[in-house]
Homo-oligomer: A and B are copies of this chain.
Amino acid sequence: MAIIVQKYGGSSVGTPEKIKAVARSVVNKVEAGNKLVVVVSAMGDTTDNLIALAKKITENPDKRELDALLSTGEMRSCALLAMAIKDLGYDAVSYTAYQISIKTSGQYGKSLIDDIDEDKIKRALDNGKVVIAAGFQGVNTEGDVTTLGRGGSDTTAVAIAVKLNGTCEIYTDVDGIYSVDPREYKDAKKLDEIDYEEMLELSSLGARVMHSRSIELAQKYDIPVYVGLSNSDIRGTVIKGVDDMNLESKPVTGLATSDDDVAVTVRNIDNDINIIANLFEKVADKKINVDMISQTAPIDNKVNVSFTIPKEDLKECLSILKSYSKGKVQVDIDEDITKFSIVGIGMKTTSGVVAKMFKLFRQNNIAVKMITTSEIRITCAIKQKDKLKTINVIAREFNL
């Protein structure tokens, strides 16, 4: 019997009626002869509501206690789903992170899964039970409850699929992965398949369908992941390895944009690798995620260094940069930034994608402020007002 690990997001279990619908969907797969493990998120807006509740207690909730608080959301939806499945006449059991030893390490709020007690899950499956596992949570070596970060339930599901050598199905409120966000480009095409790398780039670039770490994990262990709607005949998207895919396909698979970053430029800094490296080390020490970096050619042994960071980290970054801002050195902020990225493993074998893109930008008066590239993606910082125009121009050109 095949083992299927399903994950249902918060909107799929937002009400008792929806939980009962999930139960029926689970039972259908059991009836079809599969062993089911189901990972659930907290109901609806529970996590946001709990954060708001904590903020009423204190502006800066203790991180250990915040994790302890947030983890209860998933425990509730697990217990409720187990009840709903039992009510349909099938055996089920809910497990918290403690109960199946989801061992984590790292910081509160963004812990990593180290291991899971798959034997306990297997025993329950062998006893004919549907196993409902709490997503998003783990237990660290201190015995504290930790959470995996927003979207962490995806990672829980993939990790369990890895340990059980099962397949993984992520049910969410979108019917699959699109080449472009359909809210921003109405002709966006849904993809039947997408490569792990591509999905990973799109996720980290702003396509918020899945937790990036869940895709890394699936890639590492080559677990195919289906993403789609539950209880629906609409076919979703399978995220899987490149070996299974048609390499002759188009060079660009998808496009993603993000307005969550700001560009910081340090002007007239000494062109000294030690000084510049030291600056980035200090920023990294504060766990500020620097994305695009560019540096001008030196004039009088002075350079301008620009980089993008998440808007929410700007204040902390500026306090680090204060010590640099003296004499002719000057720190500028540009908040009018949209990160525009195209992704495709086809770029590995297709040349001229950058050239084609730049030609289109020139023809359409789209200014590029910064640019970075990797083997399978090109990211430009553009003006926010150019975002929709750029999406349309590029999506049409590359048939996304």
Within 78-104 of A, Cβ neighbours of B (below 8 Å) are at 78-80, 82-84, 86-87, 93-94, 96, 98-99
Contact assessment for B84 and A57 in the assembled complex, using a CB-CB cutoff below 8 Å = yes
Within 132-153 of A, Cβ neighbours of B (below 8 Å) are at 143-145
Contact assessment for A83 and B99 in the assembled complex, using a CB-CB cutoff below 8 Å = no
**CB-nearest residue of chain B relative to A70?**
B79
Contact assessment for A80 and B57 in the assembled complex, using a CB-CB cutoff below 8 Å = yes
Inter-chain contacts of A53 with B (CB < 8 A): 16, 80
Inter-chain contacts of A71 with B (CB < 8 A): 75
Inter-chain contacts of A20 with B (CB < 8 A): 57
Inter-chain contacts of A96 with B (CB < 8 A): 68, 145
**CB-nearest residue of chain B relative to A97?**
B98
Contact assessment for A82 and B65 in the assembled complex, using a CB-CB cutoff below 8 Å = yes
| CA A40 to CA B111, docked complex, whole Å | 28
Interface residues on A, range: 35 or more
Within 143-178 of A, Cβ neighbours of B (below 8 Å) are at 143-145
Given contacts A54-B80, A58-B86, 12 further A-B contacts (CB under 8 A): A53-B80, A54-B79, A54-B83, A57-B83, A57-B87, A58-B83, A65-B83, A68-B78, A69-B79, A72-B76, A98-B143, A99-B143
Q: Chain A residues in contact with chain B, CB under 8 A?
A: 16, 19-20, 50, 53-54, 56-58, 60-62, 64-66, 68-69, 71-72, 75-76, 78-80, 82-84, 86-87, 93-94, 96, 98-99, 143-145
